[in-house]
Amino acid sequence: MNAVQSPAAAPVSDLVDVTGLDLAHLASADDETLLSAVRGLRAALGPAPVLTEAGTQDPGGVAADLEC
């Protein structure tokens, strides 16, 4: 059973799309939508990279900060 009941066309995400933005604008824009997205991503950036490693022959396992 699916936990999310959504219209088929509804977007899954809310991430602002800046891929077409002129970089000069990206640096100077002060609209709340963009600044909020920057703040959100900055806050979500963890203290260390999230790694996913795969290996079955490492008898000692891998370091605790690894994900998979």
Shortest approach of another protein to residue 5 CB, angstroms? 9
> Residue 34: CA atoms inside 13 Å, Cβ hemisphere, count?
12
Rounded Cα distance between 26 and 50, Å, is 26
Minimum distance from residue 58 beta carbon to another protein (Å): 6
Site string for another protein, 13-42 (x = CB under 8 A): xxxxxxxxxxxxxxx-x-xxxx--xx--xx
- Name the residue among 30, 36, 32 with its Cα closest to residue 15: 36
Residues at the contact surface with another protein, assessed by CB under 8 A? 1-4, 6-27, 29, 31-34, 37-38, 41-42, 45, 47-58, 61-62, 64, 66-68
